[in-house]
Amino acid sequence: MNTPKTYKVKGMHCASCAGIIEKTFKKTEGVQSVEVNYGTETAKVAFDPAKTSPHHLSEKIEKLGYSLVVPEDTAMAMDASKMGMSANEHAAHLGLNQSKKEKLAEVADMRAKVISAIPLAIFAAFVMGWDILAQYGVVGEMSYTIKEFFHHLLPIFATYILFVVGKPYLMGFYRFLRYGKANMDTLIGIGTVAAFLYSLAVTALEEALRPFINVDYQYYDVTIVVITFIALGKYLEARSKIKTGDAIEKLLNLQAKTALVIRDGKEIEVSVNEVKHGDLIIVKPGAKIPVDGVITEGSSYIDESMVTGEPMPAQKKIGDSVVSGTMNTTGSFTFKATKVGSETLLAQIIKMVEEAQGSRAPIQALADKISSVFVPITLVIAFVTLGAWLLFGTSSLGFSQALSYGLVSFVGVLVIACPCALGLATPTAIIVGVGKGAKEGILIKDAATLEKLHKVDTVIVDKTGTITIGKPTLVDIENLSDQKDEELVSILASLEKKSEHPIAHAIVNYAEEKKLSTNEVSNFEGIQGKGLKGSINGIEYFVGNTKLIKELGISFDVSKIDEFTAQGKTPVILATKEKVLGFVMVSDEIKAESKQAVADLHKLGIKVVMLTGDDEKAAKYIASLVGIDEVVAHVLPQDKLAKIKELQSHGKVVAMAGDGVNDAPALAQADVGIAMGAGTDVAIESAGMTLLGGDISKLVKAIKLSKMTMRGIKQNLFWAFIYNIIGIPLAAGVFYPIFGWLLNPVFAGFAMAMSSVSVVTNSLRIKAKKL
């Protein structure tokens, strides 16, 4: 099967539109799979290029009022393909992404029409209100002159509203008659056209029809107010939908447009798309980093909040990685480009967020099925309602009244039925949830992962790099001499500077962080498996483990060291030929946020299991400090897989947080695989979710986000279902024989417009909530 490609779709106005496009594409030869998302207004299509093309697919749906946005500029497409990007991605990187501008222009047009319609709707509502209140004696009857004035003015208003503001609904009606395809526009079109034509017939043939029906009832006001309410609702919905997707826009805006590159010994400013692998790029204070790379000269503090979510700028020096889209704060530096174009972390994040926002959650399946058959079923209900009123109402109410009530109910059913609320319930919440996650450094691969995460009851974590920092750190100093601690560490660092051992690096790094000076070492010599020796200012020092001290024949109480080693720490002893001066303990330090993160997971009712290849005693000690529930030590990667399967066999929903490389089988087996990514080497593709910066506290935020998003989706679906379950029977007049309730189509139109707006607004609430 060919790789699916995503295209923007123009002309989608409701959830049933997605169903129509999907069915049309599925019937097209060469199409292998298709997924149309109303929330993001995109179509994800896999097709055989030998049998069909995007232009051909667009032609298939153009007659139905839709079109695919296919990149036209071949040069741009070729340039983009060199960089491994789609032309749309390329356009976005060049700042040429027009879809937002088009959307804003569309919203501006909707706004202009709504503004022109509102005064007419207020006027029509005033006339309708006067009429109703006069029937109950609250106000006096209209005079004949005023009545005649309104009688001739309302048809003019209704004609403008129907043919200008209501044009999309008329087109929906026309396409239904011509192609037999019905969407929400069709329902509104049929309802308002029926009300308008009935009223027009009564106006034109008033005297001829008077013996048969009540010619005092006309429904121009229904046409005016219903279309205005629905147009207002669509405008508010479109404006809100732009806000739901602003996470992608913010990510695109992070991309630098140009780069200062050294070519032939000169500094030249080039477009970011012209940067090649290996280019040396100068970054000045306040500038954005254009591509990913490694610092070769200089140092600075870089604001990496877009990658890590951490507000404090990170110190960067020679050899450190930098990421495109992050902001340089103080110093200047030069770096070598290692990843350009679509390879950069920012490009991967944008692609992942876009795909996740466009993906479908399993919870959406039922709503999609209902949306696909909703319009035809509603049409049937509307015609059955009209028939029932005429059939059963004529005997008790008379033909004139039965026809009047039947028409009101017919229009009401068509207008109140809203597949949009159902269609928007899940995608809008997913778009907002995924976008909010991206801002926090939580990358979600698809909607299914976001849905599964809220059910997780067991989290498996790796010790190294997840609970602990993942590199040796000097954590304790035991001074047995009369020298200061700083002097002791300075001697150790001077000697260890010549060693390549990771533990030596931990001591040297500690000295550098504390700005301790080091001395010149002479007669340096490594002692295999035990340590090293060297002279400073004529004094010979020995650095190593307990075996070295025993060999030197120095008496030394090792009980304190044994106590530390039981905690998983490694001793480094400093001695002269005569005595031990002291020792430092080096260990993989627990991350500052680990203890709080585990406590927060417990508050969410989640059990935490730590798997490690380390010694059991040391692992249990670290687990006790952090508050972990269960420890499994001495495990190999395949053992992790077995542990996950065992937990799943007991009905547990398991999330596994690992480094995304050696944990790949376990991440794949877990219900939710979470890669703890740090820097640019994060394996985004290997897990359902990636926590940038490798911060375990983000796992808590991710679970909270999942619960928040799923709560929003369930609320949306509940209200969308309830609204239609109550609204359609009410509009049809089912309650009229029992309670005398009959819903005016005007209120039906208002309810329908507000149902979509309320769903989008409820989804936007997720944005404002704190994780």
Q: What is the pLDDT of residues 469-487, one digit of tens each?
A: 777 889 899 999 989 999 9
User: What's the whole-number mean pLDDT along residues 695-699?
Assistant: 88
Residue 686 confidence (pLDDT) = 60
Give yes or no for residue 420 having a pLDDT over 80.
no
On whether the CB atoms of residues 655 and 456 are closer than 8 A, the answer is yes
How big is the chain by its Cα radius of gyration, in Å?
Answer: 35
Give yes or no for residue 88 having a pLDDT over 50.
no
Residue 662 confidence (pLDDT) = 60
**Which is more confidently placed, 751 or 74?**
751
Mean pLDDT of the chain: 84
| Cα 3 to the center of its chain, rounded Å | 22
> Which among 462, 659, 663, 671 is annotated as catalytic?
462
Long-range Cβ contacts of 18-24 (<8 Å, 24+ apart):
18/368, 18/371, 18/423, 19/368, 19/371, 19/372, 20/61, 20/64, 20/66, 20/181, 20/183, 21/61, 21/64, 21/66, 22/372, 23/372, 24/60, 24/61, 24/64
Q: What angle do CA 6, 12, 14 make, to 5 degrees?
A: 120
Tell me how far CA of residue 401 lies from CA of 390, 405, 410, in angstroms. Answer: 9, 6, 14
Give yes or no for residue 81 having a pLDDT over 50.
no
Taking residue 370's Cβ as centre, other Cβ atoms within 10 Å add up to 18
On whether the CB atoms of residues 639 and 669 are closer than 8 A, the answer is no
Q: Which span out of 228-242, 274-288, 369-383 was modeled with the highest average pLDDT?
A: 274-288
Q: What is the pLDDT of residues 536-545, one digit of tens each?
A: 999 999 999 8
Active site residue 681: no
Structure tokens at 565: 């080693």
Give yes or no for residue 226 having a pLDDT over 50.
yes
Give yes or no for residue 682 having a pLDDT over 60.
no
* Backbone φ, ψ for residue 36 (5° rounding): -105, 130
Residue 319 confidence (pLDDT) = 92
Q: What angle do CA 703, 704, 710 make, to 5 degrees?
A: 90
Bridge-based pairing state of the strands 42-47 and 5-10: antiparallel
